[in-house]
Amino acid sequence: MSATDTQAGANSLRSGPDGRGRFGIFGGRFVAETLMPLLLELDAAYTAAQADPEFRRELDYYLKDYVGRPSPLWFARRMTDALGGAKIYMKREELNHTGSHKLNNVMGQILLARRMGRTRIVAETGAGQHGVATATVCALFGMKCAIYMGATDVERQKPNVFRMRLLGAEVVPVTAGAGTLKDAMNEAMRDWVTNVHDTYFLVGTVAGPHPYPQMVRDFQSIIGVETKEQIMAAEGRLPDAIVAAIGGGSNAMGIFHPFLDDPDVRLIGVEAAGCGLDSGRTAASIERGKPGVLHGNRTYLLQDGDGQITEAHSISAGLDYPGVGPEHSWLNDIGRADYVGATDQEALDAFQLCTRTEGIIPALESAHAIAYAAKIAPDMAKDKILVVNISGRGDKDIFTVAEHLGVKL
């Protein structure tokens, strides 16, 4: 989508996926035949939209005047001083309308759905951020909207459920399985396969069958494109490292992608280690999973030896998914990005650190990225530059945090 993408040459790490939707061995289109023609149609429609300057112009208009882009790149002086090492910059995606990076992608896809003549939107959501973003644009464009959400998540994300309903969306609690994001994804796919004639499946992360991982990444790449310009303006050079949290991986892919061909910029994806990487209660798909096939793509998955998908665990509902976007799996295997973990407790600590030193209440998802940045910054020289993606704001998480801090609201 972005100018930088079209410049990606044959040797670029930004030229993927290939014609089959593969990033190395990852990605692909592992779906039932009923959906296959729809994916081919979507791929063609997306390719046509990319080539149409009018589509770009329309998207830019909404990104600027409705989403509120560009988002600032904030020099976190007090946190930098507190940690005593590298300079920390924060990419302020939490300042977008609806409070997270999710709207970047949702805006792109809803404009595409409109071009394709679809009138109804289905989406899956974990923490509810993608659901809220989707319900928001459906209200904006007057489209019908059904959001599938695991029953467990409906319970722990009540404010977002109410927001979605206020926005006119039908929120469907999913009781199958453990009632979390993976089950919501299954149900959303079932709705799509049942209502293919008028329905558009608006995927919220860089996972699922091709072309979703590519499309969502392209729409989210605006984060990295802006970051590059902003850090050049502020520091006159590229950062030494970029840190972002990974659930499905859309905010990370968005900020990483424009930097893939800049080998001096270290890219660090922080997975939710949950109770610890080796606790058996984790959502760290890359670090503790194996490649496999789920929800339309081949990628790292948390699974048992017989290929059954296991439940993920994280304090953050938005990271509580047993898979990860296929491009991340590939970046891991080729060694271009490093994937690490932050535990529930580390995220809680970082949540408070960020709130008290910067006056920014981050989403628990983003707190995982902050936690790892806080871990490495003290050992880096003071002239090094670290960018942390603050993918969302934490207002939705205050109840969870209060509970963990033993505070009764």
Partner 1 sequence: MSRIARRFATLRQQGRGALIPYVEACDPDYDTALAILRGMPAAGADLIEVGVPFSDPSADGPTIQKAALRGLKGGSTMKRVLEMIAAFRADDDETPIILMGYANPIEAYGPERFCVDAKKAGVDGLIVVDLPPEEADLLGAPAAQAGLDIIRLVAPTTPDERLPVVFSGASGFVYYVSITGVTGTRTASTDELAQALPRLRRATDLPIAIGFGIRTPELAANAVRVADAAVVASALLNTLEGTLDAAGQATSRTVPAVLEQLRALADAVHDVRK
Residues annotated as catalytic are 102, 124, 391
Burial class of 30 by CB neighbour count within 10 A (0 to 12, 13 to 18, 19+): middle
352 binds partner 1 (CB under 8 A): no
* Residue number, 216 or 301, with CB nearest to partner 1: 301
Find the binder of partner 1 among 101, 118, 217, 295 (CB under 8 A).
295
Report d(CA 89, CA 72) in Å as an integer: 10
315 binds partner 1 (CB under 8 A): no
Nearest C-alpha neighbor of 167 from the set 142, 193, 136: 136
x-or-dash string of contact with partner 1, 20-39, rule CB under 8 A: x-------xxxxxxxxxxx-
Q: Which of residues 177-206 bind partner 1 (CB under 8 A)?
A: 177, 182, 185-186, 189-190, 193-197
* Residue number, 208 or 258, with CB nearest to partner 1: 208
Q: Which token pair is 339?
A: 């994937």
Contact call for residues 330 and 16 (beta carbons, < 8 A): yes
Report d(CA 380, CA 376) in Å as an integer: 7
283 binds partner 1 (CB under 8 A): no
172 binds partner 1 (CB under 8 A): no
119: left (phi over 0), alpha (psi -120 to 50) or beta: alpha
Contact call for residues 200 and 113 (beta carbons, < 8 A): yes
CB of 368 to partner 1, least distance (A): 25
Find the binder of partner 1 among 265, 301, 370, 380 (CB under 8 A).
301
Find the binder of partner 1 among 176, 232, 405, 407 (CB under 8 A).
176
Report d(CA 393, CA 409) in Å as an integer: 19
Residue the block writes with tokens 């408070």:
352
x-or-dash string of contact with partner 1, 38-77, rule CB under 8 A: x---------------------------------------
CB of 17 to partner 1, least distance (A): 13
In the DSSP assignment, the letter for residue 112 is H
Q: Which token pair is 311?
A: 């439940």
Contact call for residues 402 and 408 (beta carbons, < 8 A): yes
- Give the 3-state secondary structure of residue 309: strand
Q: Compute CA 306 distance to the chain's CA centroid, rounded to the nearest angstrom.
A: 29
Size of the site for partner 1 (CB under 8 A): 38
CB of 196 to partner 1, least distance (A): 5
* Residue number, 292 or 362, with CB nearest to partner 1: 292
Identify which range of 68-76, 287-295, 343-351, 381-389 contacts partner 1 by CB under 8 A: 287-295
Q: Which residues bind partner 1 (CB under 8 A)?
A: 20, 28-38, 176-177, 182, 185-186, 189-190, 193-197, 290, 292-296, 301, 303, 305-310
